[in-house]
Amino acid sequence: MKEQLQKDFENIIKNLSLSQRDIEIKKFYLDSFINKGFPSRKEEDWKFSDLNQIIKKNIGELSFFTDYTSTNKIDTSVYVDGLEHNKIVFINGRIEKIDFNYEKKNQIEIIDQSETIDRFTNKNSLCDLNNAFTNKSFKIVVKKGYQLEKPLIIYHTTNSNIWSKNINLRLNFELNKDSSLRLIDLFNDTSEKNFLNIFYNFDIKENSILKNYKLDSFKNKNIKYSYNNIDQDKNSISETFILSSGSDFFKSEINSNLKGEYSAAFVNGMFSLNKDKHHEIRTIINHLTENTKSYQLIKSVLEDSSRAVYQGKIFVNPEAQKTDGYQLSKAILLDETTEFNAKPELEIYADDVKCSHGSASGSLNENSIFYLMTRGLNRKEAKELLINGFLLDVIEKITDREIKNLIKNMIGLKE
């Protein structure tokens, strides 16, 4: 893999006009990645999902270079109907379109940051990989006091032109004071056996609201890793919803730093998996100051050799008195071949706090099925009804009505 990495790296550098310093920084990260390799189960954070093995098994040899000199044609059929929205379109990792037509001019600024590499405080090697190979990166700044009229949908599209590739994406968002953004990440792949490595950084200033919905609902054979770092100032709110269902492997990490008083982070997630899929959600909520709040709810329905992992951590540092942290994960295992692993973790250094977590996993309640069957439903209907109700619980946590309906339609859940 080492030769491949070095060769592809040379190719990337050739195509980018970078300063010597930037090249050196990239080179540093490349060496760091070569040193560490893909994360394996030896690392605590990857204990339940050995990415190294998964890539070996599902993809084999990866290549890290994609030619971005020519444009791809946008297939407009992937666009979401019935919801007016702004767009950013990625095709095979290349930004093809940025469109904020619904918004006032000068309120949103898009800065090309390809030349300055900002560091993530993430010790995992995928961050190094991303730093070394990111092609273009943009920063999207929402100006002070501006609240976007329409949601922004980022289309992560891949097509059959790529095979066994590693694609690295990076986006930065800055929400200035009193602003708000609704962001949907929509994954739509017709490609196979690629590894997508996506890093987002959010800087949410005072009184701002971020709502991020990650929707991986279309069946595909790719492997994905997504990392969100969210820094929150005073009175800010972040809401993250993850629909984890379509890809062969998908690990989403949310790292939320509640830096300002009265800031709050909400993470809700849902696994709906079948056929050998292996998904993971890992959250770290860092309560760094007084009076911060976090709430997490993760629900899973697993069948047919699928496997879901939830690792959630609530960290409370000594200054963060009056913290309110809550975490709940529930899983339904529908058949013998499925597996649910959880590691809900509390790390608390302040005494005046209210922190709790709960985790439950098991089968559908036979009594409930029996009850519904006595009311005239057949077994299959009864099961479906119970599963729908189980999952609706987490969908109902979505605070945006329009998007809630969109997601409900997408997964075919009826009330």
To another protein, the closest distance from the beta carbon of 248 in angstroms equals 20
Interaction of residue 343 with another protein, rule CB under 8 A: yes
In the numeric block, the tokens 């060496």 are attached to 31
Footprint of another protein on residues 358-397 (CB under 8 A)? 358-363
Interaction of residue 271 with another protein, rule CB under 8 A: no
To another protein, the closest distance from the beta carbon of 343 in angstroms equals 5
Residue selected from 103, 261, 339, 384 as contacting another protein according to rule CB under 8 A:
339
To another protein, the closest distance from the beta carbon of 240 in angstroms equals 22
Footprint of another protein on residues 107-126 (CB under 8 A)? none
To another protein, the closest distance from the beta carbon of 72 in angstroms equals 42
Residue selected from 95, 286, 340, 397 as contacting another protein according to rule CB under 8 A:
340
Please say which residue, 133 or 340, places its beta carbon nearer to another protein: 340
Footprint of another protein on residues 21-60 (CB under 8 A)? 44
Interaction of residue 415 with another protein, rule CB under 8 A: no
Closest by alpha carbon to 387, among 308, 341, 334?
A: 334
> What does the alpha-carbon distance between residue 344 and residue 314 come to, in Å, rounded to a whole number?
8
Closest by alpha carbon to 265, among 223, 314, 302?
A: 314
Please say which residue, 259 or 357, places its beta carbon nearer to another protein: 357
In the numeric block, the tokens 């379509």 are attached to 246
> What does the alpha-carbon distance between residue 344 and residue 52 come to, in Å, rounded to a whole number?
24
Please say which residue, 163 or 370, places its beta carbon nearer to another protein: 370
To another protein, the closest distance from the beta carbon of 49 in angstroms equals 13
To another protein, the closest distance from the beta carbon of 347 in angstroms equals 5
> What does the alpha-carbon distance between residue 383 and residue 159 come to, in Å, rounded to a whole number?
36
Distances in whole angstroms, Cα of residue 335 to Cα of each of 194, 217, 286, 306: 29, 21, 36, 10
3-class DSSP state for residue 250?
strand
Residue 122: phi and psi, rounded to 5, are: -135, 120
The residue count of the chain comes to 415
Closest by alpha carbon to 267, among 256, 279, 280?
A: 256
- Spell 45-62 as b/e; 16+ CB within 10 A means b: bbebbbbbebbeebbeeb
To another protein, the closest distance from the beta carbon of 338 in angstroms equals 6
| DSSP structure class, residue 119 | P
Footprint of another protein on residues 292-331 (CB under 8 A)? 318, 321, 331
Residue selected from 338, 369, 386, 387 as contacting another protein according to rule CB under 8 A:
338
Please say which residue, 67 or 335, places its beta carbon nearer to another protein: 335
Q: In 303-353, where do the E strands start and end?
A: 307-316, 324-333, 339-348
Interaction of residue 346 with another protein, rule CB under 8 A: yes
Residue selected from 230, 285, 333, 403 as contacting another protein according to rule CB under 8 A:
333
Closest by alpha carbon to 304, among 276, 266, 345?
A: 276
In the numeric block, the tokens 């279309």 are attached to 218
Please say which residue, 26 or 287, places its beta carbon nearer to another protein: 287
CB atoms inside a 10 Å sphere around CB 85: 21
DSSP H or E stretch at residue 155? strand 152-158
Please say which residue, 268 or 306, places its beta carbon nearer to another protein: 306
Residue selected from 126, 342, 369, 407 as contacting another protein according to rule CB under 8 A:
342
Please say which residue, 33 or 48, places its beta carbon nearer to another protein: 48
Residue selected from 96, 149, 178, 345 as contacting another protein according to rule CB under 8 A:
345
Interaction of residue 348 with another protein, rule CB under 8 A: yes
- Total residues at interface with another protein (CB under 8 A): 35
Which residues sit at the interface with another protein, rule CB under 8 A?
44, 318, 321, 331, 333-363
